[in-house]
Structure 1
Amino acid sequence: MEMLDLEWVRKIGLDDIYEKVRAGLRLSIEDGERLFACPDVVSVGALAHQVRTRMHGRAAYYVVNQHINYSNVCVNGCRFCAFSRRKGEPQAFQLTSSEVVDKVAARRDDRITEVHIVGGCHPELPFGYYEEILCRIKQLRPEVLIKAFTAVEIAHFAAREGISTREVLMRLKSAGLDMLPGGGAEVFSPRIRGLLCPEKLSGQGWLEINREAHELGIKTNATMLYGHIETERERLEHLAALRRLQDETAGFVCFIPLPFQPANTGIEGVEATTGVEDLKTIAVSRLMLDNFAHIKAYWVMLTVKTAQVALHFGADDFDGTVVEEKIGHMAGAESEQALTRAEIERIIAEAGFEPVERNSFFERLAPQVDEAV
């Protein structure tokens, strides 16, 4: 393994953290604060790259997936969200269950392995709508894994239906749900949630629903929305809370740091994150989350070029082909709407890594010779 220059590490005051990383010891929140404070982002990245290389070698993962947003009508009104609308407002939309299934059917000939479905907390859609979507997609493409509905949506379904979140999860699993995405975590800090999304499920509630999912054998992802009004300490407390739950359940598959996209949101005076902040946040996440196997560089929000560099800063996953992603783009994301398998493999290879196609659970898939998607 390539080593950092010890004299330089000592000079920038990270020698004890370096020794912890080499020994595979857990970093503290205070260690994380020092990493964020370090002006040498390349050295912080090099520490994270050591961990990433130890875990995955030169492999960089991607998935051939399809995103479907079934509706942006939402009761929560989060200030940081440019995606949601109230019912009847301009740009509000809601797909019928048949329209959702038709989107999957339209790509029936593509070798998609994951369908990713999320939407707003709609005030009127019955729970049967969501069950029907899952059942019909599984009937249409039984080989495809369905990653659908954040913990926030799960809580909303339970409240609307008058049942427990555990029962919601059990019924969705019976209907065909394979995994939960990690959205809705934002930053767990009660201060932040009180200011930005007081109507939304609490951070503790998000963790509890993920714990329930893990207990039921449903794997989940985890996210953090950073770069708005949170402090670095609050970011680190968020990571520590995820790490504690992972210690208990081992149910998280991947962590996705999401840079806040300020365009068209209700938060004024906040600038978009810089590349340095994005790379440092990914690196610190890799170093803090010692019990998470995978860190994703979500190119939709980072841009392809930053995500490519992020593979040298601790990230080992590039996400996937992604078709029709609306949430990040309605908030001003300027990345492409989709990439082909060939494009992703070229981007990963040019960064110096081995492209590895995976499924939702990071199981390696056999290489494909066709480039249809």
Structure 2
Amino acid sequence: MSNWREILESQLDGGCSELSVDEAADIYSNAPLDELMFVASQRRKSQIPGKAVTYLIDRNINYTNVCTINCHFCSFYRTPGHNESYTQTVDQISERIVELERIGGSRILMQGGVNPSLPIEWYTDLLQELSKRHPTISLDCFSPIEIEGISEVSGLSTRDVLSLFRDSGMHGLPGGGAEMLVDTVRSGISPRKGSSDNWLRVMSEAQSLGLITSAT
């Protein structure tokens, strides 16, 4: 039996306790949308009083389409050596950030593929140069599977890669590559992408280093 009403009411009593996984699943599956939206709005107002709701302007930038993971659903990637493959230069990426700055943007989400031809210095040089050229832009770059690929090429641990990137100017990680964090599903659509545990481990390492993360 669903306890969605009690769960929502508990979020209005001022305590605002963190939901358990089961509670979150319950209200997601059973609570009427209008009541869920009302409680969410009240929670927001309790943390940020007033009627102003803010948002940020960001831009997705794909720095390369070369990838060796070959997910079944992806029409974006090209294998190494393909005549439609590309890797953008620093100047090309910077120009896209300039376009973002012109409209008041504040963040980029930069992802590509697992490109084995790029040494780790390519990434650190890119981050350092973009940080210098665009100091007001948050650089959220490289999904966990890309971090794993860079780790494999460089011989560094994923944590060391993340630490090096943070010190080079990276603000956080976008959440790409999550797809389904259920290995039976994941192995069917992305068999070369690694386990859910690996994705979660890289994100946990990033968070422990003070990097911002998300999941998509």
TM-score when normalising by structure 2: 0.82
Q: Which residue pairs with 1:340 in the alignment?
A: none
Q: Would the alpha carbon gap of residues 123 and 47 (structure 1) be closer, same or farther in structure 2, given more than 3 Å must change?
A: same
Indicate the residue corresponding to 1:166 in structure 2: 159
Shift of 1:215: 2.4
Counting only pairs closer than 5 Å after superposition, residues 47-58 of structure 1 correspond to structure 2 as 47-57=39-49, 58=51
Q: 1:75 aligns with which of 68, 72, 75?
A: 68
In structure 1, how many angstroms separate the alpha carbons of the residues matched to 2:108 and 2:28? 35
Q: What amino acid maps onto 1:157 in structure 2?
A: I
Q: How many residues align?
A: 212
Structure 2 CA distance for aligned equivalents of residues 32 and 40 of structure 1: 13
User: What displacement does 1:156 show?
Assistant: 1.0
Gaps of 5+ in 2: none
Give the drift of 1:160.
0.9
Q: CA deviation at 1:130?
A: 1.2
Q: Tell me which residue corresponds to 1:129.
A: 122
Equivalent pair of 2:147/2:161 in contact (CA under 8 Å): yes
Structure-2 change in CA distance of 1:38 and 1:142 (3 Å): closer
2:27 matched to which residue of 1? 35
Q: Deviations over 1:5-35 (max 9, x none)?
A: xxxxxxx963322332223234343333433
Shift of 1:214: 2.4
- Partner residue of 1:187 out of 154, 170, 180: 180
Residue 16 (structure 1) aligns with:
6
- Residue aligning to 2:196: 203
**Aligned-pair distance for 1:39?**
7.3
Change (3 A) 1:164 1:63: same
One-letter identity of the residue aligned with 2:128: C
Cα deviation code 1:239-273 (max 9, x no counterpart): xxxxxxxxxxxxxxxxxxxxxxxxxxxxxxxxxxx
1:86 to 2:79 alignment: yes
Inter-CA distance 27–112: structure 2 relative to 1 (3 Å threshold): closer
Letter in structure 2 aligned against 1:130: Y
Tell me the residue number matched to 2:88.
Answer: 95
Alignment match of 1:175 (pick from 165, 168, 175): 168
Q: How far did 1:69 drift?
A: 0.8
Unmatched segments (≥5 aa) in structure 1: 1-11, 225-373
**Counterpart of 2:132?**
139
- Cα contact 1:100–1:133 (8 A) shared by 2: no
User: RCO (CA 8 Å, sep 6+): is it higher in 1 or 2?
Assistant: 1
Q: C-alpha separation between the residues in 2 aligned to 1:38 and 1:28? A: 15
- Judged with a 3 Å threshold, the aligned counterparts in structure 2 of structure 1 residues 81 and 139 are, in CA distance, closer, same or farther, namely same
Matching residue of 1:371: none
The residue identity in structure 2 corresponding to 1:21 is: Q
Q: State how 1:1-373 maps to structure 2 within 5 Å.
A: 14-23=4-13, 24-38=16-30, 40-57=32-49, 58-89=51-82, 91-105=84-98, 111-218=104-211, 220-224=212-216
Q: Is the 8 A contact 1:70 1:117 kept in 2?
A: yes
Quote the offset at 1:110 in angstroms. 5.4
Cα deviation code 1:52-91 (max 9, x no counterpart): 3333343322223333110122111222333323235575
How far residue 197 of structure 1 moved from its aligned partner, in angstroms, is 1.4
SS of corresponding position for 1:59: coil
Kindly provide the amino acid, as one letter, of the partner of residue 153 in structure 1. E
TM-score, structure 1 as length reference: 0.51
| CA shift in 2, pair 1:21/1:80, >3 Å | farther
Q: Is the 8 A contact 1:20 1:27 kept in 2?
A: no
CA distance, structure 1, for counterparts of residue 206 and residue 3 of structure 2: 41
Distance 2:133 2:106 in 1: 13
CA–CA distance in structure 1, aligned partners of residues 54 and 75 of structure 2: 29
Structure with the higher fraction of residues in strand conformation: 1
Once the two structures are TM-superposed, the CA of residue 155 in structure 1 deviates from its matched residue by 1.2
